[in-house]
Amino acid sequence: MFTLGVIGVLTRRNAIIVFMCIELMLNSVNLTLVAFSAFHGNPTGQIFVFFVMAVAAAEAAVGLAIIIAMFRNKMTVNVDEINIMKW
Amino acid sequence: MHNLAGYIVLLPFIGFLINGIFGKKINSEKLSGIIGSGSVGISFVIAAAIFFEMLRLPVEERSHIVTIFNWITAGSFSINAAYQVDQLSILMTLIVTGVGFLIHVYSIGYMHGDKAFWRFFAYLNLFIFMMLNLILASNFLLMFLGWEGVGLCSYLLIGFWHDKKFDTGGYKPGEATTSDAAKKAFIVNRIGDFGFLIAMFLIFKLFGSLTFEDVFSRASAITTSGDKTMFWITLLLFLGATGKSAQIPLFVWLPDAMAGPTPVSALIHAATMVTAGVYMVARCSILYALAPATMEIVAITGITTALLAATMGLVQNDIKKVLAYSTISQLGYMFLALGVGSFAAGIFHVMTHAFFKALLFLGAGAVIHAMHGEQDIQKMGGLKSKMPTTYRTFFIAALAIAGIPPLSGFFSKDEILWKAFSQGSIVFWILGWITAGLTAFYMFRLFILTFEGKERGEKHPHEAPKVMTVPLIILAVLSVVGGFAGIPYALGGGNAIEQFLKPVFENADLQLSIAPHEGLSAEYLLMILSVVAAGFGIYFARKMYLQKPGLISKISEPFGRIHKVLWNKYYIDEVYEYSVVKPIKTGSEKILWKGFDVNIIDGMVNGSAKLISFTSSWLRKIQGGMVQSYALAFVVGIIVILGILILR
């Protein structure tokens, strides 16, 4: 599931989909943490997941805001056409 | 009094600074002129005071060294900025500041209305400063500073009207400006300076010191008979002298130097700077006395230059060029005197020559001024009535240089000819005698064409203003009486100047074992002969140019070829052009510029730039601004790191 997310991030061109793939990666990590936590009987992992979810929520808000801002500027959400990340 | 020697040098420098820095702001010809002339005038007064004090002192106390400050110290090498005040240097100082002052005053009139009036005076002051350094220096290095400095000032002043067209009579026809003449003077001088520099190295190697005191006092002790070093030192110093004093082979710059304003020609290229070489050789008299071979070279160079330059002067039509060749010729006389070991006679001629040659040039300047820039003597004539003062003073100067007694030129030239005969050889005397006749001829050719006869120009000449004629009159008086400083024993005089300078040249005289005077009857005979030569020269000039103008073409026809050779100055400029200038130019262009510079130097510079642009064209792709490519790099990086961690 994590690998799927990575491949999605690298290959898809629609920013929304890239963004969803990032969520996918985060959730795959969450899932892994919860699974191992239950398996080992150690609650630390589950607590950590809450933090990750909180951060993911914040990140989702920021990310969506960025995408909207970019769309307003460029009238596109296609990441290939956005190359302002350079100095 | 001699402690004030520093001020003699300092004052013109202050004048230079004031005129040079604030001249444009002052913007007043009167003030600039007063500052310029005043500073030199005060220097002259100080020098005169020192001179008269020196006359009162006993002979042993006349030489002093005035140290100003410690200039350079490096290891065992130490040089002071110190001035040597003795008979020789004070005499030269009087000439330089005295004649210099008169020429400064004259320049106020001559340069009137020039747009860079203040700059002219700044340069003149700087020149006087450098010249005084050269003369008063007590070591070779300070002398070299002055030596180079006067060269620089000469360059600046020849090219003073740097955009003015100038007829070189050879290279770059039609497009040469005075700055070309200036460059020529500077470069030719540099060749000579190079000799001076090497000689200085040799002196330091041999003596371990550059002060005159050390070098001269130990010279005779240090030299062994088979030693060639002294020969090379003196020869290289003489090479420097030929550059500065316009002797063969480096005289070519002086005629072109006439492109500068006329007061400059008078001051630098006639009266003072060109005598620097003579002064230097006289100052190093003991070294020359130890190298008889060089002395011979000096004498031969001197007499050859004197004769060649005199013949070239016969056919020139530019009033200043005639005077330039006569200067070269007279300098040749001085070197002849030095070469036969008569240093005092050489310096005596320096002095009288400074008077009458400055007068001739200033007179020529007044004529050019009156003719609105016309310099061709074929287009002058009949100026006698229009410019009476200039006419009279010029006449005196022409008589003086021709060697008519009792004017100054007679005494000094005759002294040289007599010494050439008694201490040199009869050949020197014959050549010198012919030159004397030629000198009288071309001077009176110039004089007659300019002042006598009918007016040939359409210009309306007028007499120069007072500020210009007064220096002329003073110099005329000096030209008349200057010779009385050295009336020879044969005529009942005491030869005061030789006595005065004797202590300076004592060691050299001792080395050369010059016998005191003898053979009075021979001296009388030579005197009469040289006056006859001068008389004939004047007579022929009158005959050819005044009474029977048709005679010129009749005479010159069979000599057409000689005339052409003389007119082209023996093609020496052309020979230099093809043997020296062209090869250097081609070599520089083909090998140094197009070969070495373009391929290797430029190749290295451009190569490094190309290398960087090549690598950067690759590196640029990494930072493309595409988020996904960055992310890909992340992932690849993580995989690689993980791979290393796992496989380790």
User: Is the predicted pLDDT of residue B545 greater than 70, yes or no?
Assistant: yes
CATH number at residue A50: 1.10.287.3510
Any domain includes A82: no
Residue A87 pLDDT grade (very low, low, confident, very high; cuts 50, 70, 90): low
For an interface test with B, give the residue of A2, A4, A6, A87 to mutate (most B CBs within 10 A).
Answer: A6
pLDDT digits 0-9 by tens, B568-595: 777 777 777 777 778 888 888 888 777 7
Count the neighbouring beta carbons within 10 Å of the beta carbon of residue B54.
21
Residue B174 pLDDT grade (very low, low, confident, very high; cuts 50, 70, 90): low
Count the neighbouring beta carbons within 10 Å of the beta carbon of residue B348.
30
CA atoms within 13 A on the CB side of B27: 2
Any domain includes A9: yes
- Per-residue confidence (pLDDT) for residue B126, from 0 to 100: 93
Query: Facing residues of B376 across strands?
Result: B318
Any domain includes A60: yes
Residue B259 pLDDT grade (very low, low, confident, very high; cuts 50, 70, 90): confident
Cα–Cα dist B408/B389, whole Å: 20
Cα–Cα dist A47/B355, whole Å: 112
Nearest-CA neighbor of B389 among B366, B411, B408? B366
Q: Which residue of B has its CA nearest to A18?
A: B628
Any domain includes A86: no
User: In 3-state terms, what secondary structure has residue B78?
Assistant: strand
- Per-residue confidence (pLDDT) for residue B152, from 0 to 100: 92
Domain hosting residue A28, numbered range: 2-74
Cβ neighbours of B623 in A, within 8 Å: 86-87
Cα–Cα dist B421/B61, whole Å: 34
Any domain includes A27: yes
Rounded (5°) CA angle B578-B583-B585: 105
Residue with tokens 């004769």: B307
Mean pLDDT of A45-67: 90
Percent of chain B with pLDDT over 90: 26
Size of interface A-B (CB pairs under 8 A): 28
Any domain includes A66: yes
Q: Which of B125-129, B322-326, B492-496, B638-642 has the lowest mean pLDDT?
A: B492-496
- Judged by CB atoms within 8 Å, which residues 16-55 of A form the interface with B? 18
Count the neighbouring beta carbons within 10 Å of the beta carbon of residue B491.
15
User: Is the predicted pLDDT of residue B640 greater than 90, yes or no?
Assistant: yes
Tokens of B303: 């007499």
Question: Do the beta carbons of residue B469 and residue B366 sit within 8 Å?
Answer: yes
Q: Which residue of A has its CA nearest to B626?
A: A83
User: In 3-state terms, what secondary structure has residue B372?
Assistant: coil
Q: The complex's ipTM?
A: 0.74
User: Is the predicted pLDDT of residue A21 greater than 60, yes or no?
Assistant: yes
Helices B276-283, B117-136: inter-axial angle, 10-degree rounding:
20
Any domain includes A87: no
Nearest-CA neighbor of B157 among B21, B255, B262, B12? B262
Tokens of B10: 């300092």
pLDDT digits 0-9 by tens, B458-475: 667 777 788 888 989 998
For an interface test with A, give the residue of B620, B623, B626 to mutate (most A CBs within 10 A).
Answer: B626
- Per-residue confidence (pLDDT) for residue B459, from 0 to 100: 67
Number of domains within chain A:
1
User: Is the predicted pLDDT of residue B207 greater than 70, yes or no?
Assistant: yes
Any domain includes A80: no
Tokens of B648: 């380790």
